[in-house]
C-alpha cells in the first residue's frame, strides 16, 4: 500500500545520496523514461519535466523520517541533499520489490550534473519528435541555458548508452 | 479578404454564465471550436468528479469551466493588455484558443481513470489538438502550424512565457475561474475574491504577467480563497472515499478482464484500455454517462467484489475513514492487511491509504531550486518584488505544505458479525484503538 513511497526510498538508497531537488526530479524522470515503474506524473515546468507528486512524496518521506534532507546554505541559494535514514532502511525491509539494473541507471545519473540532467530530461520529454525537432524544442524552452552542440551530442550519446546498459 | 484568424461573427454571441454573467464570443474560430464535437464532449464530464456526492450542487461540467477560462483570458487581453507595448497582439488568438481548449483531454472521472489505466489527460489534450479531430481541422484553417502552437501553450513549452503564464501560473485564468465556479456550484462561502480588481491590476512583462502593487490585497484574498477551497472542498474526506471506491471498482474490472472473467455486461468501451490498444477515438467516445451505465449494470455481476464496489458508488454507500500517520503506523498497515485476509475481506480492494496535499503559494528566489514561478508585484518605481516579501499574510503560508492522510475501509462489513466475528473485532480495535 505504500509501494510508491518504498520505490523512492529504494531509489535514494541505491544512489547513496542525491544532491539537489532538481537533480532528484530529473533522475527519477529519466529512470521512468527508461521504463522503471515509477508512478509519479510529470509535467513541463521551469526546469523541464517536473513532478509535483514526487515533490510531495519526498516531503512525506522526510516527515516520516524515512529520508533525511540536509540543507546547505550556498550563499545565494540553498542546496538540499537527500539520503536514507535507519528508519527508512527498516521500512524498506518490510516492502517487496527489486528492479534489476536500476542501480546501474541510478549510478550513471548521479554522476552527472543537474544542468546535464536537465538537458537530457528535456530531450527525453520531446522524444516523440525527430532529433532535429527535439534540439529545436530544447533551444526554444531552454534558450537561456545556451546548451552547446557538443553538450547536446553528449546528451544524446548518454541516453543511448543508458538504454543499452539497461537492455544488456 | 479577411483571414479566418481575424474573421469576426456578424453579431457578438453571448453565453449566460452564473460566474462571469456573460461569456462573449466575437471570433469565428472560437465560435467554431465551441461547436466541435470534442469540445461538446466536455459537457458530459463533471468538473469536480465525485464531489457531487458531498456537495450536491457540484454537477457543473468541464464545458462550463473551459468557457469561463476563455472569458477570463479574453477580458485580460482585450480589456487590460491591448495597446500595451509589452503585449504582443499577434499572440491573442493562440492564447484564447489555449484557454478554451486547455482541459480538452480530460476523461470521465479523470483522476481515477488515469490512475487505473496509466493515462495522462494532458497527452490526450495534445492528441486531440494535433490528431484527426474536428478541433484540429478548425485550428489548421488558421495556419498549418497553429494547432501545434496552441498545444505548446497548454503544455507550457511555447516560446512566449507570458502567453503560457496567462493559463498556467500561480495566478492564472484557470485557477481564477475554477475557484469561483466551484464555490458557486458547491454553495460554499469560501472561494470568492475580487477578480475584477485583480484583472485591472494585471500587467504584461517580458516573460510573465505581474500585479501592480496596489492590487496586493486582492491577490492575498485570492490565495486565501484557494487555500480554503482545497481543504474544504477539493480534499473533502467523503468525496475522497467515493473516489477510492470508484478507483477500486475500475481496478477490479480491469483485473477480472485480465483473468478472463466473463462479464454479464461486457465492458465494450473499456476493452481497449484493459489491453492498452486504445485509439484516440476510443478515448473521445468515453464520458461519465458511459462509466455510470457500466457501474449500474455491474451491480448485478456475479463477481461479488465488483458488484459490491459498484453498488457502493452508485448508491453512495461509502467507506469509513480514520486519520492515519504512515510514519508511525506503517507496521499496523501490514497487520491490518493480514487480518483483512483472515476476515475474508480482500485488502487490495477494501483497505485503502490515501493522501492529499497542497502548497497554497510557493515563492522562488533567483538561484533557488523552486519550480514555481512566483507572483511578482510591480512596485511604483517599476521594480518587481516577489509577493511574500511584501505580504505578511502570504509569507505566513508560503512554501508550507499541508498533508492529510486517511485510511479507508468498509465499516459496515467489519461490523457485520455474522461471519468471522473475532477477527473483525480485532480489526476494529486496531482501527479505532478501542478495547
To the nearest whole angstrom, how far is the Cα of A144 from the nearest Cα of chain B? 11
Cβ contact, residue pair A59, B403, below 8 Å: yes
Cβ contact, residue pair A141, B157, below 8 Å: yes
| Model pLDDT, residue A95 | 78
| Model pLDDT, residue A77 | 76
**Do residues B233 and B188 make contact, with C-beta atoms less than 8 angstroms apart?**
yes
| Model pLDDT, residue B400 | 72
Cβ neighbours of B366 in A, within 8 Å: 76-77
Q: Quick one: chain A helix, strand, coil %, rounded to 5? A: 60, 15, 25
Same domain for B298 and B415: no
Evaluate whether residue B334 is within a structural domain. Answer: yes
Chain B residue whose CA is closest to A64:
B327
Final residue belonging to a domain, choices B179, B196, B213: B196
To the nearest whole angstrom, how far is the Cα of B353 from the nearest Cα of chain A? 7
Same domain for B324 and B308: no
Residue B206 in contact with partner chain A when CB distance is under 8 A: no
User: H/E element holding B143?
Assistant: none
Cβ neighbours of B401 in A, within 8 Å: 56, 59
The CA distance from B354 to B324, in Å, is 9
pLDDT at A15 over 70: yes
| Model pLDDT, residue B70 | 98
Cβ contact, residue pair A77, B333, below 8 Å: no
Say what the alpha-carbon torsion angle B262, B263, B267, B270 is, to the nearest 10 degrees.
Answer: -50
Cβ contact, residue pair A2, B401, below 8 Å: no
Range B199-222 average pLDDT: 95
Any bridge partners for residue A83, and if so which?
Answer: A68
Band the pLDDT of A158: cuts 50, 70, 90: very high
Cβ contact, residue pair A79, B369, below 8 Å: yes
Q: What is the pLDDT of residues B278-296, one digit of tens each?
A: 999 999 999 999 999 999 9
| Model pLDDT, residue B183 | 97
Same domain for B307 and B333: no
Evaluate whether residue B215 is within a structural domain. Answer: no
**Do residues A57 and A36 make contact, with C-beta atoms less than 8 angstroms apart?**
no
Band the pLDDT of B365: cuts 50, 70, 90: very low
CA atoms B174, B178, B179, B181: torsion sign: positive
Evaluate whether residue B372 is within a structural domain. Answer: no
Any bridge partners for residue B21, and if so which?
Answer: B17
Final residue belonging to a domain, choices B168, B196, B224: B196
Q: What is the pLDDT of residues A108-126, one digit of tens each?
A: 999 999 899 999 999 999 9
The CA distance from A18 to B313, in Å, is 43
> If you search the block for the grid coordinates 485509439, which residue do you land on?
B279
Cβ contact, residue pair B367, A76, below 8 Å: yes
Cβ contact, residue pair B369, A91, below 8 Å: no
Residue A79 in contact with partner chain B when CB distance is under 8 A: yes
| Model pLDDT, residue B2 | 78
Same domain for B166 and B277: no
CB within 8 Å of chain A, chain B residues 43-102: none
Output the domain CATH number for residue B408: 1.20.1250.30
Range B11-21 average pLDDT: 98
Band the pLDDT of A58: cuts 50, 70, 90: very high
The CA distance from B134 to B112, in Å, is 27
**Do residues B230 and B187 make contact, with C-beta atoms less than 8 angstroms apart?**
no
pLDDT at B401 over 90: no
Same domain for B34 and B58: yes
To the nearest whole angstrom, how far is the Cα of B52 from the nearest Cα of chain A? 25
Report how many helices (DSSP H) and strands (DSSP E) chain A contains, helices first.
8, 5
Cβ neighbours of B122 in A, within 8 Å: 43
Range B135-162 average pLDDT: 96
Same domain for B180 and B267: no
pLDDT at A148 over 70: yes
Largest interatomic CA distance in chain A: 47
Cβ contact, residue pair B326, A64, below 8 Å: yes
Q: What is the pLDDT of residues B27-66, one digit of tens each?
A: 999 999 999 999 999 999 999 999 999 999 999 999 999 9
Pairing of strands B208-212, B376-378: parallel
Range B254-272 average pLDDT: 96
Evaluate whether residue B213 is within a structural domain. Answer: no
**Percent of chain B predicted with pLDDT > 70:** 96
Any bridge partners for residue B435, and if so which?
Answer: none
pLDDT at A167 over 90: no
Comparison of pLDDT for B359 and B145, the residue scoring more = B145
pLDDT at B238 over 60: yes
Comparison of pLDDT for B60 and B404, the residue scoring more = B60
Band the pLDDT of B356: cuts 50, 70, 90: confident
Q: What is the pLDDT of residues B64-92, one digit of tens each?
A: 999 999 999 999 999 999 999 999 999 99
Same domain for B300 and B247: yes
| Model pLDDT, residue B360 | 61
Evaluate whether residue B95 is within a structural domain. Answer: yes
| Model pLDDT, residue B207 | 86
| Model pLDDT, residue B368 | 47
Range of the domain at B96: 4-196
Q: Is the backbone of residue B345 left (phi > 0), alpha (psi -120 to 50) or beta? A: beta
| Model pLDDT, residue B137 | 98
**Do residues B45 and B107 make contact, with C-beta atoms less than 8 angstroms apart?**
yes
pLDDT at B22 over 70: yes
The CA distance from B9 to A162, in Å, is 55
Evaluate whether residue B384 is within a structural domain. Answer: no
Q: Domains in chain B: how many in total?
A: 3
To the nearest whole angstrom, how far is the Cα of A107 from the nearest Cα of chain B? 22
Evaluate whether residue B295 is within a structural domain. Answer: yes
Q: Where are the alpha helices (DSSP H) in B156-287?
A: 161-167, 173-186, 195-200, 216-229, 237-258, 271-274, 280-284
Comparison of pLDDT for B227 and A83, the residue scoring more = A83
Full 3-state SS string of B306-329: HHHHHHHHHCCCCCEEEECCHHHH
Cβ contact, residue pair A44, B156, below 8 Å: yes
Cβ contact, residue pair A46, B366, below 8 Å: no
* Least confident range of B99-108, B266-275, B389-398: B389-398
The CA distance from A5 to A7, in Å, is 5
| Model pLDDT, residue A96 | 73
Any bridge partners for residue B23, and if so which?
Answer: B15
C-alpha cell at A158: 548518454
Same domain for B192 and B132: yes
| Model pLDDT, residue A47 | 72
> If you search the block for the grid coordinates 472569458, which residue do you land on?
B71
Same domain for B106 and B41: yes
Same domain for B250 and B102: no
Final residue belonging to a domain, choices B164, B179, B196: B196
* A164: CB partners within 8 A, 6+ apart: none
Evaluate whether residue B47 is within a structural domain. Answer: yes
pLDDT at B297 over 70: yes
Range B306-311 average pLDDT: 98
Same domain for B251 and B124: no
The CA distance from B403 to B357, in Å, is 4
Residue in B158, B49, B40, B57 with CA at minimum distance from that of residue B101: B40
The SS3 call for residue B53 is helix
* Least confident range of A47-51, B206-210, B280-284: A47-51
The CA distance from B229 to B326, in Å, is 25
pLDDT at A3 over 50: yes
Residue B403 in contact with partner chain A when CB distance is under 8 A: yes
Same domain for B297 and B151: no
Range B379-403 average pLDDT: 88
Amino acid at each position: 500500500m505504500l509501494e510508491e513511497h518504498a520505490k523512492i526510498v529504494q531509489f535514494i538508497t541505491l544512489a547513496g545520496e542525491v544532491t539537489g531537488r532538481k537533480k532528484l526530479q530529473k533522475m527519477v524522470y529519466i529512470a521512468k523514461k527508461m521504463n522503471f515503474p515509477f508512478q509519479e506524473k510529470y509535467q513541463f515546468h521551469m526546469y523541464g519535466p517536473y513532478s509535483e507528486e514526487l515533490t510531495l512524496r519526498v516531503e512525506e518521506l522526510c516527515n516520516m523520517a524515512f529520508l533525511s534532507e540536509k540543507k546547505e546554505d550556498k550563499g545565494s541559494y540553498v542546496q538540499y541533499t537527500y539520503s536514507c535514514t535507519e528508519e527508512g532502511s527498516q521500512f524498506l525491509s518490510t516492502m517487496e520489490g527489486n528492479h534489476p539494473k536500476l542501480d546501474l541507471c541510478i549510478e550513471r545519473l548521479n554522476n552527472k550534473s543537474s544542468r546535464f540532467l536537465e538537458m537530457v530530461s528535456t530531450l527525453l520529454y520531446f522524444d516523440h519528435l525527430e532529433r532535429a525537432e527535439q534540439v529545436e524544442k530544447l533551444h526554444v524552452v531552454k534558450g537561456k541555458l545556451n546548451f552547446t552542440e557538443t553538450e547536446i551530442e553528449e546528451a544524446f550519446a548518454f541516453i543511448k548508452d543508458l538504454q543499452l546498459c539497461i537492455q544488456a | 479578404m479577411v483571414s479566418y484568424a481575424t474573421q469576426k461573427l456578424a453579431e457578438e454571441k453571448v453565453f449566460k454564465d452564473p460566474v462571469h454573467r456573460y461569456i462573449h464570443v466575437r471570433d469565428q474560430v472560437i465560435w467554431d471550436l465551441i461547436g466541435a464535437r470534442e469540445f461538446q464532449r466536455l459537457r458530459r464530464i463533471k468538473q469536480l468528479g465525485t464531489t457531487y456526492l458531498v456537495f450536491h450542487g457540484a454537477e457543473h461540467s468541464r464545458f462550463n469551466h473551459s468557457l469561463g477560462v476563455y472569458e477570463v483570458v479574453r477580458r485580460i487581453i482585450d480589456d487590460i493588455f491591448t495597446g500595451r507595448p509589452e503585449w504582443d497582439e499577434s499572440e491573442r488568438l493562440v492564447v484564447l484558443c489555449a484557454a478554451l481548449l486547455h482541459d480538452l483531454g480530460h476523461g470521465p472521472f479523470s483522476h481515477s481513470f488515469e490512475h487505473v489505466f496509466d493515462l495522462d489527460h494532458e497527452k490526450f489534450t495534445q492528441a486531440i489538438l494535433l490528431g484527426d479531430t474536428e478541433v484540429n481541422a478548425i485550428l489548421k484553417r488558421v495556419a498549418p502550424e497553429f494547432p501545434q502552437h496552441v498545444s505548446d501553450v497548454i503544455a507550457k513549452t511555447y516560446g512566449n512565457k507570458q502567453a503560457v503564464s496567462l493559463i498556467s501560473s500561480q495566478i492564472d485564468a484557470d485557477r481564477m475561474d475554477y475557484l469561483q465556479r466551484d464555490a458557486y456550484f458547491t454553495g460554499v462561502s469560501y472561494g470568492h475574491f475580487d477578480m475584477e480588481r485583480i484583472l485591472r491590476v494585471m500587467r504584461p512583462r517580458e516573460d510573465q504577467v505581474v500585479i501592480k502593487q496596489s492590487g496586493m490585497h486582492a491577490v492575498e484574498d485570492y490565495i486565501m480563497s484557494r487555500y480554503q477551497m482545497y481543504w474544504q472542498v477539493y480534499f473533502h474526506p467523503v468525496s475522497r472515499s467515493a473516489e477510492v471506491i470508484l478507483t477500486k471498482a475500475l481496478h477490479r474490472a480491469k483485473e477480472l478482464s485480465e483473468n478472463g472473467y466473463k462479464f454479464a455486461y461486457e465492458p465494450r468501451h473499456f476493452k481497449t484500455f484493459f489491453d492498452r490498444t486504445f485509439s484516440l477515438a476510443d478515448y473521445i467516445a468515453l464520458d461519465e454517462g458511459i462509466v455510470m451505465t457500466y457501474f449500474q449494470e455491474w451491480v448485478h455481476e456475479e463477481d461479488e467484489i465488483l458488484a459490491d464496489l459498484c453498488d457502493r458508488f452508485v448508491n453512495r454507500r461509502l467507506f469509513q475513514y480514520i486519520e492515519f500517520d504512515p510514519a508511525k503506523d506503517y507496521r499496523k498497515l501490514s497487520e491490518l492487511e493480514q487480518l483483512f485476509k483472515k476476515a475474508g475481506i480482500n485488502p487490495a480492494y477494501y483497505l485503502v491509504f490515501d493522501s492529499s496535499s497542497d502548497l497554497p503559494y510557493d515563492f522562488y528566489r533567483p538561484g533557488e531550486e523552486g519550480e514555481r514561478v512566483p507572483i511578482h508585484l510591480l512596485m511604483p518605481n517599476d521594480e518587481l518584488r516577489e509577493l511574500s516579501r511584501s505580504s505578511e499574510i502570504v509569507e505566513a503560508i508560503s512554501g508550507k505544505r499541508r498533508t492529510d492522510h486517511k485510511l479507508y475501509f468498509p465499516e459496515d462489513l467489519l461490523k457485520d458479525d455474522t461471519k468471522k466475528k473475532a477477527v473483525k473485532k480485532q480489526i476494529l480495535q486496531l482501527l479505532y484503538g478501542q478495547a
